[in-house]
Amino acid sequence: MLAIGLVVIFLGGVLELRSIYGFAEFAGHGDEPPAAIFMQIVGLPAIILGFFLSTGGARRYTGKLASFPVVGPGTVLFAGFAIGAWWGWSVLNDPNIVLSLVPIALTALALLAVVLGARKRSRQRARREVLASLVVSGQVVPGIITDIPEIGPESGGLIGVVTVKFTDTAGVDRWVRKTGQWKRAELPKSGDLAAVLFDPEDPGDINRIWVGPAGSATVADFRLWFA
């Protein structure tokens, strides 16, 4: 589902930008509109459908909303836009400077999206490595949820900030705030118990603190709430 969604987004992006150049072809060239103009009828619905498929597939695969392995739909969309713009530009008989700059700008944006996506995934991989190390060498203590947003009856879950209180190995009370996501059936409440994993050598380093459901002990446990 994820792969199909990304392909549909890419093709939709190509067709949508190609249709824009169809209007440029139409200007001053007779009364019959180029077929490219009608590509937008397919392009925009394809993009919307692709986003639904890719986000749904990614959530099933990763267990997290808006967490995409390898590449995200935004990067794929900009790549499709760039290809569609180059295609449209290549068929113009007399492209002006503005229409020539569009594919260049979209190509630059697509490359930027690739770089930003790679950096994000590199940071996520580094955090997973820290977690794997802490599960072996860190300390797990009981914690208590002191604050978590409430959700309405129509909401299927929560993406928000939770505050957890725990006591480190030196007997010092600490509070940590983490942004996570929960399905409705798994959403804890204020006052519920949690498990807190931290580095006993530096218990105040929030980047080396993980929170999971009570009884958590493994990497998978501590990734249930946080990516």
Phi, psi angle pair for 193, to nearest 5°: -80, 155
Instruction: For residue 69, give the amino acid letter.
Output: P
CA 122 remoteness from chain centre: 14
Confidence tier at 95 by pLDDT (50, 70, 90): low
Confidence tier at 7 by pLDDT (50, 70, 90): very high
Rounded average pLDDT over 30-45: 80
194 close to 224: Cβ distance less than 8 angstroms: no
Confidence tier at 65 by pLDDT (50, 70, 90): confident
DSSP class of residue 8 equals H
Highest average pLDDT, of 16-20, 62-66, 93-97, comes from 16-20
pTM over cut 0.85? no
Rounded average pLDDT over 21-32: 68
Decide: residue 3, CB within 10 A, 0-12 exposed, 13-18 middle, 19+ buried: exposed
Give yes or no for residue 99 having a pLDDT over 80: no
pLDDT of residue 44: 92
Helices 2-26, 97-137: crossing angle, 10 deg rounding: 160
pLDDT of residue 31: 64
pLDDT of residue 28: 54
Confidence tier at 32 by pLDDT (50, 70, 90): low
pLDDT of residue 164: 95
53 close to 2: Cβ distance less than 8 angstroms: yes
Give yes or no for residue 120 having a pLDDT over 90: no
Tokens 């392909």 locate to: 7
How many residues are listed for the chain in this entry? 227
Confidence tier at 109 by pLDDT (50, 70, 90): very high
Angle at 1 between CA 109 and CA 154, to 5 degrees: 90
pLDDT averaged over the chain?
88
Rg value, the chain, Cα? 24
Rounded average pLDDT over 188-207: 92
Take residue 5 and report the two structure tokens written for it: 């969604």
Confidence tier at 11 by pLDDT (50, 70, 90): very high
CA 111 remoteness from chain centre: 17
Beta carbons within 8 Å of 156's beta carbon, 6+ residues apart: 183, 184
Tell me the C-alpha distance between 180 and 159, whole Å: 6
Take residue 226 and report the two structure tokens written for it: 């946080």
> pLDDT tens across 122-179, in order?
888 898 899 999 999 999 999 999 999 888 877 878 888 999 999 998 999 999 999 8
Take residue 13 and report the two structure tokens written for it: 């992006």
